[in-house]
Every structure is written in structure tokens, then in C-alpha cells.
Chain A
Amino acid sequence: MHKETAEPSVFGILAEFSSEKELLEAAAKVRDEGYKATDAYSAYPIHGLLEALGKKDSLIPWFILACGLTGFAAAWGLQIFVAVIDYPVNIGGRPLFSWPAFLPIVFELTVLFSAFGAVFGMIGFNGLPLPYHPLFNVEAFKSASRDGFFIGIESTDPKFDRAKTAQFLKGLKAKGVYEVEP
């Protein structure tokens, strides 16, 4: 239910920083202040940013492992079912369960399923495709894909307070602090 307030509600507060180093320092302070519903934005991956923001490891590695094991099991299952159970053919007098011959397929399907898991898992866990995001309302955010470094604190955070959060971010030597319309 939407609560009527004097001011229109916001998606969150966005702060812009001028360098990778400042972004990392600010992120650590945002984490230490106790904010949880946070995210950081830059044009390239920054080592240590997840740790600085206090984010837990993503579930993607486990998802990839599960996919890989599925491929592993599927390869064994398919080959055993076809070659031993459903359509046994005597090839060169070899046993029907000639496991060394199955290994290349086991390897390939494990890799294939893992790669699918990595790509589609990454897209899915990132919530993509996402045609609209409130951050696009901030004009300065366009530079996030070029040379800008941003930290956003969302209003869903229990610690979020429109005025205090903006004040806190200004205190972190932010180049600019913007309110984000929903």
C-alpha cells in the first residue's frame, strides 16, 4: 500500500565519485555505517568492490557446479542408456559398457552445461534483461558506462533516511549526490 507523504517517495540516493580509489573507500564506509540495500556502478570491474560493500559471495559458482554435475550425470546416463540398455551393438567385441569411450562426451557435456550455467546464470542472477531502471532518471548516471563511479543506497534499506543518508554520502567526499526518482 502506498503511504501518502508530503514529499514524493524516492528510489534511493546516488552518490558520484571521481576515482576508483575514492569509490572503494566510500564503499567501505557505507558498509561500516550499516547500509545493506546498496549497489556500486562503474564502467569496468573493480577488484575488492564486493568485499568493500560487504556483499556476500554470489550464488553463481554453486549454480555453475549444479549445472556441471547435471551435464556430467546426463552424459553418463545418456550413453549408458543408449549403448548398454536401449540399443546394444557389438562393436569390435568390446564390452557394452566401454566407459573409456564415454569419457570425452562426459567431459564435453560437463563443460557445456557449466558454460551455459555461467552465462545464463550471470544474466539471470543480475535480473537481466532490464529495460528500465530508476537510476536512468539521473542525468549524471550516463557517465557510469564511461568514466563515472557511483554508489547507490536504496530506500528499501531499514537505515535509509532521505535527509540523513544524503548528508552522510556528501560527507564521503562525493562529487555529487542525487535523489533518484522511482
Chain B
Amino acid sequence: MTSSFQGAADYRKFAVVAAVAGAALSVVGFGLDKQQFFVSYLEGFLWVSAIPLGSFALLMVHTLTGGNWGWTIRPFLVSAAKTIPLLAILFVPVVFGMHQLYPWMDHELMHHDPVLASKAAYLNESFWLARTAFYFVVWSLLSWWLIRLLVPSPDKLTDTKQLHKSQRVAAGGAVVFMLSGSFAVVDWVMTIEPHWFSSMYGALAVAGMAMSSFAFCTLSLILLDKKSPNMWMTQNNVHDLGKFIFMTVMLWGYLSLSQYLIIWGGNLPEETYWYHERGMGGWQVVSSIMVIFQFIVPFCWLLSKHIKRNVRMLPYIIALLFTVRWLEQLWLVKPGLMAGKFPIHWLDLAAPLALAGIWVLAYCTVLAKAAAVPAPAGHGHGHHHGPQDKGH
């Protein structure tokens, strides 16, 4: 069977328009308000990078567990993971804006604040830069290594030698990724408010990456199936992906509540202020929107199995999740830096739009060349359930 993802190339024109429009607006915004530009850019980077990083993580999980859900989205996971080196380039503007983003990079402040002074061994410019470079090098090398070793299709799983080779990389890589991913978000986001700390932060961010990746890969599957039917898009496989999206919604809700509950229960001022500043100045509205639309609404919506396997409904749920994921990045980054300002600035839309355009362009270019995974025995055309199928 020839590649069935050439349809991805058709989406590149939308990506180019988004990238150019977003970038043009961002340049104007940079001239007007430098700090706002860097804040918005970091939000966009976190929002977009969650997809390739989450895909890399899921690729490792699937290498270890197997299962049809992973084969169904394998080309999308691989194509997204292949764009990780691009993330290193996209991160460069954050390095240029680091003095605007991270208060602890101000030496004056560090010396006059005993709490921050005691953290100086970790929170210093050169170590931060070295760690950031380390994350990108490790992720790029690990993902490249894993993709090279992956068993290409389920009927090749009998080659246990190759399977075990890829599983060793995936097992070690999963541990390395969980740790490096957690440290990365701590370095890039949590240190915006250097006094505050939460041990749930890294897990919460990685759970968000899994949500973004499952949602994005499912959307890729559904959209590209319209152009050339995908043998893997059976009702059961779509149902599995719906369950995984549902699972990540619950995981996000569970971890978010845990973090909140621990801080609320501890009731220590050095921790509670973080939620306090997200409960005023308009941020209380954003906080409520996140609870309602990142947990309650998608949870209730996805409870029914008929929705989980409904290829017409899933894109709307995915669009909702990406909207709240975007809002979540604003909620994490902005309140600590821009207290007293209205939550959303037009640059918060423009910079993420530019980054999404650039990334989707790269993803579609890689995906258009990807080969489809051969369908397993017994998965004939008769089992295909296209968008016309409404389910039972």
C-alpha cells in the first residue's frame, strides 16, 4: 500500500497563512510591548510543543505496551516526534527574552532576597541555559534513536530481537523523559514565580502533553481519512482513542485538584499566594473556565461510548480541549508577571498562532511523506467505518 497521508500537504497552505499572519502581528507587538511579546511567545511555545513532546512520550508507551490504538496513530506520533529538533530553534526567542520572563535572572533581586539567594546554585543563568540545551539534545537524540529502532508494523512484531531493542530504548527513554520533561517545565514556567513550588507541577504538565498529543493525533486521523480512507480507522480504534482523550481529561482534573488540595490543605502563605493571584483581577474567570471546560464539560460529554466513537463529534471536543489548553498556558505564565493587567492581550493570540502555523507546516511536510502502517490480517475494507458511519 502506498502512502495515504499525502492529503496532509493540503493543510500546509492554512499553516503558512497562520504562520505569516501570526508572525507579522507578533513583530508589530514586539515593537509595542517587549515583555508582553515574550510572555505570549512562551505561552505559544508551551502550547505547541506539548504535541510533539506528548507524541514522543506516547510512542515510547506504545512501544512498551503494544495495542491497536498505537498502530492507528503511529504515523502521526512519529511525524510529530520527528519535529522535536525544530522545537530547539523555536525556543531561541525565549532565550532572548529570558531577562523579561525570569525575575531571578536579576542579580540585584537575587542578592536582596534571602530565599532566592539560597536557590542561586540552581537558579542562575548559565545553569539554566545548559539545562535547556540538555533537554533539547536529549529529546532530539532519544526520539531519533527510538524512531530508527521502531518495529514498522504489527506483523513484524515476530522479530523479537528488534522489538526488544526498541523496548529497551523506550523503557529507559520513558524514565528520562518523565524526569527531563518535569524539570523543563519547572525551569521554563514554574521559575517565573521563583518563590513558589509544587511537586505536582511536572506530572501535571506531562499529563497535559499526553492530552494534546492524543487530541491532535485523533484529529489528524479523522481529517485525513476524508481524503484517503485509512484502514486503521475502525470503530473500535476510534473508540479507544476517545477513551484515551477521556482518560487524559480525568488525569488532568485529578492532578490539578491534587495540587490545589495539597496547597489549600497546607494553607501556607508561600504556596497559597499562587492560587490567590489566580483568583483576582479577572483571572478568577479564567480559572473557572478551566475547571468547567477542561474538566466538567469534556468529562460529561465523553462519558457515553457513542460520543467516544463518533467521528463527527470528536473534532469539536478536540477543538474545545485545544482552546482550554491555550488558556491554561496563559493562566500558568501571565499572572506572576503581569499582575493587575487584563488577562488576555491580542499578542496572546498572535504569537501562539504563528508558532502553531510554523509547527503544523513542519508536521504536515513530514507526514505527507510517511508510509501507512499495513493493516493487520482480518482488517479488510469491510471493517472500515468512515465518517458516514454514525455508530450504532
Residues of A within 8 A of B (CB): 47, 51, 57, 61, 65, 92, 100-101, 103-104
New A-B pairs, 14, CB < 8 Å, besides A61-B304, A100-B264, A103-B261: A47-B236, A51-B392, A57-B392, A61-B305, A65-B303, A92-B267, A100-B260, A100-B261, A100-B265, A101-B261, A101-B264, A101-B265, A103-B257, A104-B261
For B392, the chain A residues whose CB sits under 8 A away are: 51, 57
A104–B305 Cα distance when bound, in Å, is 26
- How many Å lie between the Cα of A103 and that of B260 in the bound state? 11
**B378's closest neighbor in chain A, by CB?**
A21
**Considering the chains assembled together, what is the distance between the CA atoms of A92 and B392 in angstroms?**
54
Contact mask for chain B residues 294-338; partner A; CB cutoff 8 A; 1 contact, 0 none: 000000000111000000000000000000000000000000000
B341-377 toward A: CB 8 Å interface, digit per residue (1/0)?
0000000000000000000000000000000000000
Instruction: Note all chain B residues with C-beta closer than 8 A to A51.
Output: 392
- Would you give 17 A-B contacts (Cβ < 8 Å), ordered by A? A47-B236, A51-B392, A57-B392, A61-B304, A61-B305, A65-B303, A92-B267, A100-B260, A100-B261, A100-B264, A100-B265, A101-B261, A101-B264, A101-B265, A103-B257, A103-B261, A104-B261
**A90 vs B166: C-alpha distance in the bound complex, in angstroms?**
57
Taking CB as reference atom, which chain A residue is nearest B260? Answer: A100
Interface of A is mostly: helix
Cα–Cα distance between A169 and B260 once the two chains are bound (Å): 62
* Identity of the chain B residue whose Cβ is nearest the Cβ of A65 in the assembled complex: B303
Distance from B158 Cβ to chain A, minimum over Cβ atoms (Å)? 22
Contact residues in B for A61 (Cβ distance below 8 Å) = 304-305
User: In the assembled complex, how far is the CB of residue B309 from the closest CB belonging to chain A, in whole angstroms?
Assistant: 12
C-alpha spacing A100/B305, complex, angstroms = 30
| Interface bracket on B | 10 to 19
- Least CB distance from A62 to B in Å reads 10
Query: How far, in whole Å, are A51 and B306 apart by their CA atoms in the complex?
Result: 14
B window 252-288: CB within 8 A of A: 257, 260-261, 264-265, 267
Give A39 to B54 CA distance when docked, in angstroms.
44
Q: Which residue of B lies closest to A20 (CB)?
A: B378
Considering the chains assembled together, what is the distance between the CA atoms of A100 and B261 in angstroms?
Answer: 7
Cα A57 to Cα B306 with chains together (Å): 11
Give Cα A51 to B392, complex, Å.
Answer: 8
Q: State in angstroms the CA–CA spacing of A57 and B303 once bound together.
A: 15
User: What CA separation (Å) do A130 and B261 show in the bound complex?
Assistant: 47
Complex: how many Å from CA A57 to CA B305? 11
Q: Find the B residue at minimum CB distance from A103.
A: B257
- Chain B residues whose CB sits within 8 angstroms of the CB of A65 once the complex forms: 303
Q: How far is the CB of B314 from chain A (nearest CB, A)?
A: 19
Q: Looking at the assembled complex, report how far the CB atom of B143 sits from the nearest CB atom of chain A, in whole angstroms.
A: 33
Chain B residues with Cβ below 8 Å from A103 are: 257, 261
**Lowest 7 A-B CB distances belong to which pairs?**
A100-B264, A51-B392, A100-B261, A47-B236, A103-B257, A103-B261, A100-B260
Proximity bits, B229-265, A CB within 8 Å = 1, else 0 = 0000000100000000000000000000100110011
Instruction: List A contacts of B267 (CB < 8 A).
Output: 92
B72 to chain A, nearest CB (A): 15
| Bound: A14/B170 CA distance, A | 50
Write out the residue numbers on chain A whose beta carbons fall within 8 Å of the beta carbon of B261.
100-101, 103-104
Report A-chain residues with C-beta under 8 Å of the C-beta of B257.
103
How long is the Cα–Cα vector from A12 to B360 in the complex, in angstroms? 60
Q: How far is the CA of A12 from the CA of B93 in the complex (A)?
A: 75
CB-defined contacts of A47 to chain B, threshold 8 Å: 236
B378 smallest CB distance to A (angstroms)? 8
Interface string of B31-68 (1 = CB under 8 A from A): 00000000000000000000000000000000000000
Query: Which residue of chain B has the shortest Cβ distance to A54 in the bound complex?
Result: B392
| In the complex, chain A residues whose CB is within 8 Å of the CB of B236 | 47
Chain A residues in 8 Å Cβ range of B260 = 100
Contacts of B264 in A (CB 8 A): 100-101
The residue in chain A whose Cβ has the minimal distance to the Cβ of B254 is: A107
Q: With A and B bound together, what is the CA distance between A66 and B267 in angstroms?
A: 36
Report chain B residues within 8 Å CB of A100. 260-261, 264-265
CB distance from B356 to the nearest CB of A (A): 34
Taking CB atoms, residues of chain A closer than 8 Å to B265 are 100-101
Q: Looking at the assembled complex, report how far the CB atom of A86 sits from the nearest CB atom of chain B, in whole angstroms.
A: 23
The residues of A that contact B305 with a CB separation of less than 8 Å are 61
Which A residues are in CB contact (< 8 Å) with B304? 61
A103 CB to nearest B CB, Å: 6
Query: Closest Cβ of chain B: how far from A138's Cβ, in Å?
Result: 30
| Closest chain A residue to B253, Cβ basis | A107
Query: Which residue of chain B has the shortest Cβ distance to A98 in the bound complex?
Result: B264
Q: Smallest distance from the beta carbon of B242 to chain A beta carbons, Å?
A: 14
